[in-house]
Structure formats: C-alpha cells, structure tokens
A = this chain, B = another copy of it.
Amino acid sequence: MGMVGISDIQRAAARLAGVAARTPLLESAALNEACGRRVFIKPENLQRTGSFKFRGAYNRLSQLDEAARRAGVVAWSSGNHGQGVAAAARLLGVRASVVMPGDAPGVKIDNTRAHGAEVIFYDRYTEDREAIARDLCAARGATLIPSYDDPGIIAGQGTVGLEIREDVGRLGARLDAVLVCCGGGGLVAGTATAIKDADPATAVYAVEPEGYDDYARSLASGRRETADASRPSICDALLAPAPGKLTFPINRQLLAGGLVVAEDEVIEAMRYAFRTLKLVVEPGGAVALAALLAGKCDRAHETLAVVLSGGNVDPAFYAGVLSED
C-alpha cells in the first residue's frame, strides 16, 4: 500500500479523538428515493473549521517535536487547508502562516485569520505559492505543512474513511462504492486506504470538476497528467494542477477511477443540499453529490457513501446559487 497503512489512520483517529468532530453518517429518505439507491452522506462540512482539512492538519502538527513547534509552521492553501492548519496550530500553541490566493473566498480568508494565523497573499495566475512558502520556511526555520502530499496529512484525512466504515458496519450494511472529491488526492487516498482495508470489493472514485480532471486522466493513463491551472472554476478547493507524488501511487493502486462533473451539475448539487438535505456545502464539497445526482456513478452500485467535504462558501455566492433557480 505504500507509506500510509490502516494502522497510521487508526493512530491518527486516536490523536483526533475529542479534538476533531466525529461527524455523523447521515441518510436521507428523499435522496434514497431520488436515486433509487441507498446513499450514506458523510458531512465533513460539519467538521471543525468547516471541512475535513482539520483532520490531516491536526494529525500532522500534533507530531511535531518541541523545537519544530517553537519555530512555527507554513502552509499554502486555497482556504480550507489554511483554516485547518490555523486551528490546529492554535490548539497546539504553534505559530502559523498561510499563503493564500488573493481571490480565495472571503469567508476562508477571514476564518484563517480568526484562527490566529498570519495570511500572506499571492496571485494564483502569476506567482508560485510553493516558492513563497519555502522561502518563508527557510527564513524562519519553520516546517512546511503540505496540503496533501504528506503521509501525516493523508493518514489524518483517512479518518473520514475509518468513520464511514465504522458507522456503515454498525448499521449492518456494506458499501458498493464511495465517492470522494479530489484536488491533490489526499482525502481520497486516505479514505480509500481505510475503506478498502475493511472491504476490498468497495469501489472508491475520485470526483473532480470539469477542467481539473487531471486525476481522472492520470488514473486512466497510469501516469501523472496535469490540468491547465489558469482556467477559472467555482470549485476553489479542488484546483490542484496534478496528482500528488505520494497520493498518486496510492490512488492508482486503490481507486476504481475518476468521475468528472460540470459546473452546472455542481450548482444543482448545492441547491439539492440546501433544499433537501438542509446542508450548506461549498462548490468543491458538492462534486461527489453532483456526480451521484447527475447519474455518473455505475448503476450496479446499489449502496454508496458520498463525502461532502466542506461548507466554507461565501453567503453571497450561495444566495446567488439559490436565487438563480
């Protein structure tokens, strides 16, 4: 399986106990009926900081030694990883700086600052966030906290899968498929590791927005393909231009494939989440639900789990989604 195994995820779960939210596994009679399948919903929009990213960040930061904690941490992020790192750092008494694109949703910028982190802006189309972050680390002796390509991050996100399998098991069910959103591939890699360990027959899919389907193409070709990162997308959380170096071998081994959704399908899923599920989901957090609702998941899969990965969306944007209807 490579560098992250089920025991790493179980250790991460122990570190997160009482700190991260143990999010529930929801089921909606209306959604089941609409799909003609049994669908479990893992609502990571209800997670601390509003997305699953807190899991990986806290798991990673809690393993820093004393000297590293004193020197602080640096992350780059479109917003959710930044909030996760900021909140984890504050809980652990660590200074955090987050390099964010100037066009990140205001709610993500505000919350990252509210959790006590320093925010450093860059231009997503002309500047190299990795270089900015690495310079900062070099100058301060700080530790870089990658958003997906790191075993501690992958193991932390994998607790999403561990909780799904625990709760599904408690209900006496078994999963034919799990749909997980995918940017750099950390969440789906960790989740697949936990899910496939429990039941190798469960198919796990990475779901991406149109234009950022580098993972779907990479899984098909067997090598890391890239996306044109200059293309705008409402799915601000999923704009990684290529599969991670560490996540790709895991996902290549474990995933059944990639699914791709169009923006109007994402918008429709956000409306459905609001109206029927009564959940606030950000665009990038809605892609797995969008794939399901748009009928992109093999009909042979009768029992599925869908991860709603985050809910950090500007109220004005959601208001627009609701009123355009």
Contact = CB atoms under 8 A, between A and B. Distances in A.
Interface in A255-302: 271, 274-281
Interface stretch (A22-30, A94-102, A134-142): A22-30
Q: How many copies of the polypeptide does the oligomer hold?
A: 2
A112 to B, nearest CB: 14
Contacts of A280: 274, 278-280
B311 A316 contact: no
Nearest to A48: B29
Interface in A290-325: 311, 315-316, 318-320, 322-323, 325
Interface string A234-274: 00000000000000000000000000000000000001001
Interface string A22-59: 00101111100000000000010110101000000000
25 contacts: A21-B29, A24-B26, A26-B46, A28-B46, A28-B48, A29-B48, A29-B87, A43-B278, A45-B278, A46-B277, A46-B278, A46-B279, A50-B276, A50-B278, A274-B318, A275-B315, A278-B280, A278-B311, A280-B280, A315-B322, A315-B325, A318-B319, A319-B319, A319-B320, A319-B323
Provide the main secondary structure of the chain A interface.
helix
Nearest to A311: B278
Contacts of A45: 278
Interface residues of A, number: 32
- Most B CB contacts (10 A, CB to CB) among A26, A43, A50, A278 go to A278
A319 B314 CA distance: 12
A-B pairs, top 10 by smallest CB distance, nearest first, are A24-B24, A278-B311, A315-B322, A319-B319, A45-B278, A278-B280, A319-B322, A319-B323, A29-B48, A274-B280
A90 to B, nearest CB: 11
Interface of A: 21, 24, 26-30, 43, 45-46, 48, 50, 87, 107, 271, 274-281, 311, 315-316, 318-320, 322-323, 325
